[in-house]
Amino acid sequence: MPVYRWRLAPDGYATRRQLRALGLRPGGQDVAAQLERPRRHRGPLVAYLYLVDRAKPVRPMTPGRAEALAKAMAARRTCPACRRDAGYCIPRSLGMCVTCHDSAPALAA
């Protein structure tokens, strides 16, 4: 197993915590590499690295879940004022698409 110095891990590796931040889990893969940070008077601090390529989503994406997610995203992109898909998430601060906001400043105020 390759061992890297702390902060010198190559791209494509992540700790379990870093995977989690990406919404991923090791997914049954073995530890791919380890990081060692030397410490005085003690053994090195070791962190285990996993391959990002082989990581799996925290929750597997089922068709139902994908559909629910797509609906939720579509709802967030749909402007409540003009009912059009703005193509981006409606900013909460505006509560409507930028076009509506710009064309109806009085209504927004």
Query: Site residues (CB under 5 A) for Zn ion?
Result: 79, 81-82, 97, 100
Other CB atoms within 10 Å distance of the CB of residue 26: 20
* Minimum separation from the CB atom of position 94 to Zn ion (A): 9
Please name the amino acid found at residue 46.
V
CB closer to Zn ion, 8 vs 106: 106
Report the candidate in 62, 95, 90, 66 with the shortest Cα–Cα distance to residue 78. Answer: 90
User: In the bound complex, which residue of the shown chain has the CB atom lying closest to Zn ion?
Assistant: 79
- Give the nearest distance from C-beta 53 to Zn ion in angstroms: 40
Instruction: Say if residues 1 and 13 touch (Cβ distance below 8 Å).
Output: no
CB of 33 to Zn ion, least distance (A): 49
C-beta closer to Zn ion: residue 82 or 108: 82
Task: Tell me whether residue 23 or residue 80 sits nearer to Zn ion (CB atom).
Answer: 80
Distance (Å, whole) CA 61 – CA 50: 21
